[in-house]
Structure 1
Amino acid sequence: MYRAVLIGLRLKNVRRSDFILSMDELAGLANTSGATPAVQIIQERERIDPAYYFGRGKLEEIAHVCAAEGASLLLVNDSLSPAQTRNLQDRFECKVVDRTQLILDIFAQRARTQEGKLQVELAQLNYLLPRLTGKGIELSRLGGGIGTRGPGEMKLEVDRRRIRERIHKIGDAIDRVRNTRSLHRRHRERQRVSTVALVGYTNAGKSTLFEKLTHTATFRSAKLFSTLDPLCRRVRLADGKSCYLSDTVGFIRKLPVELVAAFRATLEEVVNAQLLLHVCDVTSDDLDGDIRAVETVLAELGAARRSTIMVYNKVDRLPDGAAGRRPDGSVRVSALTGAGIADLLSAISQRLGMELSAGRSGLEGPGGGAAARLEVVN
């Protein structure tokens, strides 16, 4: 088990509460990766230091704390530039891993299918490429473990040309996956069966809800990103009809752009769905922030105006624990206990019926935007 020192830089224009939540999330990511957070170090500055990210005076404190704690890992709560990473690594004896590299490492651990592994490798190689120095880099120098799992475990010297060749080869393989998914979608369309996609912040309970709605068992964990590889199952709705329900990777603040690009083939299930179920953890300390983070990724994917039902999860943890539809159109359910699931299925039937009617009339569905969302509280 790695002992890790967590360091974060709060710029003066960032709210303190938002920054604290971000650092807590970094601790969760550390635990998920297999590290033990030992202590947090925080610095407040007007701007980021272009060479070291932190102020020069803070570097001595960080080195002292790492030595005192016996830490072998330094986790930075932001993405570092290649130069910042090199400078910090030269300054400290412990390994330096930024937030992007940490998330990529967790994805490498979570990938189970060949498709998932290829997409993670593509993201990791795109992250690694600008960080190569000189003619190449011997990856074994990185030491293995957190931050280097996946393609980073190769014990050979890799130069830019070989990495670009591998990126091109993986891209071709992912294109074939995309074509296969497109064929599957066309098959579902010929069956005249709608597709509903689950989206949400990581650990919001999407997989539990997926299991409850589809009556199937999937891999679940209390750790972040328990679901990485996409799943699609048929669901019987309240009106006797059925739809396909798709579950895919959870989103997070500062989701690495490398991952969004690499997982586009998988996330096309979201873009092409007739209806989204946006699953939220109603007990989250920053529910609004979680929602905004998911909506930001949806906008990047071109799915911001997709018809959406908001599903607030874990209502069983609230004092009243109330479930069922509300006058404002929302529904409270618990994916764990099953309370309110019937109301959710009814809401899905109603929304899909409205979308079908709108499609026949050539009009945009009633859920085409945040202001028109039907809220379902899970």
Structure 2
Amino acid sequence: MPDIQDKDAAPAILVGVDLGLPHFDAELEELGELARTAGLEPVGRITAKRKAPDAALFVGKGKADEIKALATELGATEVLFDQALSPGQQRNLERHLGLPVNDRTLLILEIFAQRARSHEGKLQVELARLQYLSTRLVRRWSHLERQRGGIGARGGPGETQIELDRRMIGDAIKRTKDRLDKVKKQRTTQRRQRDRQGAFNISLVGYTNAGKSTLFNALVKAQAYAANQLFATLDTTTRRLYLDDVEGVKAGRSVSLSDTVGFIRDLPHGLIDAFQATLQEAADADLLLHVVDAANPHHPEQIEEVQRVLHEIGAAEVPQVLVFNKTDALQAAPRQRSDVFELEGAPVRRLFVSSRTADGLPDLRRELAERASSERTPQPGAQLHEEPA
């Protein structure tokens, strides 16, 4: 079924293949949001059901012909797959369809490249992009099969262009990793400084577009970029949050609050590896505020995906508080402000808030004050520095 097209965006066909996995997005809603975020406009959607991907065309020849016919009918200039394609499948599909074909992984990489602002963020995205590109050298360029060699030629005798390009990308990956290692050491030094000062460290984590940055701004009165879109911000920002004494709780101290990059289903492993320095903020935290979009009907699956990534980065054992955000968007308001939620078989405190209207934020501040007051206290005279990444 055709979508309403934005005249300023390149038209794209969305393709999803149901392989029997529980998280299949039959409406391709999230892929459509990713496409719009990357500057494309979905004009048509096609789904297929298979027991396993076709080795050559992923969807099989019959479905590939259907995609080609729809793309021609709707004037699409690109085809986007909701699953990761192998280099061979991508190359074969482009030849069959006569159009550029990209997968979910490249789409997320493109968005990250557009959104990265800090030096660290740009390095992380560049590393992930190079790692992805290193597997795609045989994708489109037949000239890479030509050999080069002889007197005055670059490379050894008979060295092919593809070998040269692969070596150049390998060198670029090494340089980028070296630069990121320096950034990682700087972050480690900053965290050690906060530890010496006795800072209680809190990190916001959650699925992309759950409202983490809006909640961060509401708590610390900052101006971090926040928007109703996927991956609105990629760069970790750390600020000081002062927690007043509240009834029955003696806090009266500053804590460190960090806003981190959002997670998403099938987040490319290259990005998780590349963003290790940033995601380490979550692994080293004393408390995680796991922000959930309460108005999203798929929030149970999103919670599971966040937990999967937390396990992958070594942050699964950090204590959590679930913050069900965007209650103002619910048709019926929650009957209570807090309760206990079972997360991976363990009881976890859950609070209901609206970052936009500030409803429930006093209860969240009280929860943070209780957590901070039960932990270590800062050393006399210690100052907590603000650290925008």
TM-score by length of 2: 0.83
Measured at CA, do residues 307 and 278 of structure 1 come closer, stay the same or move farther in structure 2, by a change above 3 Å? same
Is the contact made by 1:196 and 1:245 (CA closer than 8 Å) also made in structure 2? yes
Secondary structure in 1 aligned to 2:28?
Answer: helix
Residue in structure 2 matched with residue 240 of structure 1 by the alignment: 252
CA distance in 1, matches of 2:210, 2:185: 30
Measured at CA, do residues 111 and 134 of structure 1 come closer, stay the same or move farther in structure 2, by a change above 3 Å? closer
Which of 17, 21, 42 is the matching residue for 1:14? 21
Measured at CA, do residues 198 and 22 of structure 1 come closer, stay the same or move farther in structure 2, by a change above 3 Å? farther
Residue in structure 1 matched with residue 355 of structure 2 by the alignment: 335
Shift of 1:4: 0.4
Relative to its length, the structure with more helix (as a share) is 1
CA distance in 1, matches of 2:255, 2:26: 37
Residue in structure 2 matched with residue 36 of structure 1 by the alignment: 41
Residue in structure 2 matched with residue 189 of structure 1 by the alignment: 195
Identity over aligned pairs, percent = 43
2:24 aligned partner, one-letter code: F
CA distance in 1, matches of 2:299, 2:121: 29
CA distance in 1, matches of 2:290, 2:27: 21
Gaps of 5+ in 1: 140-155, 358-378
TM-score by length of 1: 0.85
In the alignment, does 2:213 pair up with 1:207? Answer: yes
Is the contact made by 2:200 and 2:375 (CA closer than 8 Å) also made in structure 1? no
Is the contact made by 1:323 and 1:339 (CA closer than 8 Å) also made in structure 2? no
Deviation per CA, 1:179-214: give whole Å up to 9, x if none: 000111111111111110000000000000000011
Which of 273, 293, 297 is the matching residue for 1:281? 293
CA distance in 2, matches of 1:183, 1:136: 44
Measured at CA, do residues 21 and 10 of structure 1 come closer, stay the same or move farther in structure 2, by a change above 3 Å? closer
CA distance in 2, matches of 1:44, 1:242: 53
Measured at CA, do residues 136 and 69 of structure 1 come closer, stay the same or move farther in structure 2, by a change above 3 Å? closer
Secondary structure in 1 aligned to 2:222?
Answer: coil
The alignment covers a number of residue pairs equal to: 338
Deviation per CA, 1:279-321: give whole Å up to 9, x if none: 0000111111000000000000011111111111001122343
Shift of 1:354: 3.8
In the alignment, does 2:298 pair up with 1:296? Answer: no
In the alignment, does 2:165 pair up with 1:159? Answer: yes
Is the contact made by 2:123 and 2:176 (CA closer than 8 Å) also made in structure 1? yes
CA distance in 2, matches of 1:86, 1:327: 51
Is the contact made by 1:136 and 1:159 (CA closer than 8 Å) also made in structure 2? no
Which of 368, 371, 383 is the matching residue for 1:351? 371
Alignment of 1:41-52 (within 5 A): 41-52=46-57
Residue in structure 2 matched with residue 371 of structure 1 by the alignment: none
Measured at CA, do residues 64 and 287 of structure 1 come closer, stay the same or move farther in structure 2, by a change above 3 Å? same
2:103 aligned partner, one-letter code: D
Measured at CA, do residues 35 and 134 of structure 1 come closer, stay the same or move farther in structure 2, by a change above 3 Å? closer
CA distance in 1, matches of 2:84, 2:375: 40
Gaps of 5+ in 2: 1-8, 145-160, 245-250, 341-348, 378-389
